Amino acid sequence: MAQHWQEMLPVDRYTVAANGLLHEYDRKVLTFLYQPLIGSTCFSLYMTLWAELAENRLWSSSNTHHSLMNFMDMNLERIYQARVKLEGIGLLKVYERKDDESRSFIYELIPPLTPEEFFLDGMLNIYLYRKVGKNQYSRLKRFFSEENIYSKKEYQDVTKSFQDVYMSGYQETISLTADTEQAMLPPDGQHFIGRNEPESIQVSQTLFNFDLLAAGLNESLVPKKALTNRVRNAISNLAFLYGIDPIQMKNIVISALTENNEINIEELRKSARDWYQLQNYDQLPSLVDRTQPILHQTQKKEPETKEEELLRYLEMTSPRQLLKDISGGAEPSKSDLQIIEDVMFQQKLLPGVVNVLIQYVMLKSDMKLTKAYVEKIASHWARKKITTAKEAFVLAKNEHKQYTEWADGKKTPKASKSSGKKKPIRTEMLPDWFDDQEKPRPAGKKQDDEELELKKRELEETLKKLRSGEGTD
């Protein structure tokens, strides 16, 4: 059963709430700053939910998800996937209540960051720059900025103060009784309409090994008090953004240390960015799903077979980590990462599907990622609308003959009448999940390529360790 059916049904009801008034200017921020990161579907869902709020109100009436599906002309699966992305980027909070026979939700819309907060965020602005490019990013900064036409330095502040203009009428004072104080508060069960400050994206500190970082910093005489909670939050975000481990982070932190033994966060960000660009040829990271989204994970229960173990591993691992694991811990090459990134962005393939593609192509191509071959299979899977690793398994098995011909760089040949010679059968390596579909080799044929056979056994051992948890970080 697909994951979204377990999370919500068309008959489930929802109510839209707003965490503070949403302003017209927020539409421009969402359109130009958030939409490039979350996509048009997520943007449309946010706007549709916003439209259900009456003007200057914080709550909507109750509605069903079936009505939302009709409004957006979209199935529930896509709506759920868009909802999850809005949650992840900090634009939506979801509250759920379960009764005996029904389920209801509150969808609380969170206002977007202000342009100033967004461009100084340290994470979202980096992803936006990577997504839209330097010229468009500069244009957006100009759009959300205003030129200082006049300098206040040339003027004197002559504004009257409150006490200069007003005075209290002491002769008409009102006795402050308990009833009077109660009258100044909002009615029971209500609160004043206003606007709460939106929160920036914050990666959990538990994802970073601060103990290992602190041990390294102690050797460099960096005081513990320098790692304030604000600094730790910045380190967590930068480690996630740029993929920096505690050993590498130590030198970055030291470079941002001031003469007062404090860590300058702006210098910390700059040093982390410089480190990443030095490692990646002046490129910046992209915002992509780390692993297969829960919505498209098919392995929900505990694996019982080797194929289920492998399926679970491919669904819970990012493509970058898979490449690293296959290489025995070595960092993937820039060209391999570029191929995978292009496939994920241009063909819109999900991480779990890309992982199956990586494993299939590498075993078919002598452990090489050939760009043309990867893109050809990827485009086929995109046209077939493959969204799960399981579907990718099945299609790879069914289309194996066709993919073999693509690997050989040829189309399906017609039988030749002029030549009585048969072409030699090429020895292939296939993923272990292919074993039950692999056709038997002709009798008498022996494995004459010992090097390929050795590589196959080595990769099988690597994957066996990965499935048992020995080879993962």
**414 burial level (CB within 10 Å; 0-12, 13-18, 19+):** exposed
Q: What's the token pair of residue 326? A: 């296959």
Predicted confidence at residue 171, as pLDDT, reads: 52
CA distances from 260 to 77, 256, 266 (A): 53, 11, 16
Supply the mean pLDDT for the chain.
76
Choose between 260 and 417: higher pLDDT.
260
Res 175 pLDDT > 90 = no
**Tokens standing for 290?**
């780390």
Alpha carbons 89 and 104: distance in angstroms, whole number: 23
Whose CA is closest to 396, among 443, 442, 440, 428? 428
Question: What pLDDT is attached to residue 339?
Answer: 81
Q: Would you state the pLDDT for residue 473?
A: 43
Tens digit of each residue's pLDDT (9 = 90 or more) over 298-351: 655 666 677 777 877 887 777 877 888 888 777 777 778 778 877 776 677 777
3-state secondary structure of 135: helix
Residues 79 and 69: beta-carbon distance below 8 Å: yes
**Of 427, 352, 342, nearest in space to 376 by CA:** 342
- Between CA 13 and CA 182 the distance in angstroms is 36
- For the sheet containing 13-18, what is the strand order? 63-64, 13-18, 103-109, 92-98
Closest CA to 363 of 446, 452, 449: 452
Distance between CA 139 and CA 32 in Å, rounded?
Answer: 11
- The pair of structure tokens assigned to 172 is 């008409």
Q: How far apart are CA 224 and CA 214, in angstroms?
A: 7
pLDDT higher at 471 or 222: 222
Residue 340, H or E segment: helix 334-346
User: Within 13 Å and on the Cβ side, how many CA atoms surround 316?
Assistant: 14
- pLDDT tens, position by position, 245-255: 888 888 888 88
Confidence of residue 16 (pLDDT cuts 50, 70, 90): very high
Mean pLDDT value across residues 351-361: 86
135 or 121, which is more confident? 135
Alpha-carbon separation of residue 183 from 29, 168, 178, 186, 195 (angstroms): 38, 21, 9, 8, 23
Mean pLDDT of 234-262: 83
Q: Which of 138-147, 436-445, 446-455 has the lowest mean pLDDT?
A: 436-445
User: Is residue 87 over pLDDT 80?
Assistant: yes
**Mean pLDDT, residues 103-129:** 89
How far apart, in Å, are the Cα atoms of 215 and each of 208, 209, 210, 279? 14, 10, 8, 25
Instruction: Say how far apart CA 392 and CA 353 lie, in whole Å.
Output: 6
User: Per-residue pLDDT for 413 more than 90?
Assistant: no
d(CA 5, CA 3): 5
Q: What does the DSSP assignment read for 166-189?
A: ----GGGPPP--HHHHHHTSPPTT
Query: Which H or E run contains 105?
Result: strand 103-109
d(CA 316, CA 322): 10
Residues 293, 280: Cα–Cα separation, whole Å: 26
pLDDT for res 36: 92
pLDDT in tens, 40-74: 999 999 999 999 987 767 788 899 999 999 999 99
More confident residue, 178 or 348: 348
**pLDDT score for 444:** 42
Quickly tell me which residue has 């206002």 as its tokens.
111
Q: Comparing 155-164, 322-331, 384-393, 416-425, which segment has the lowest mean pLDDT?
A: 416-425
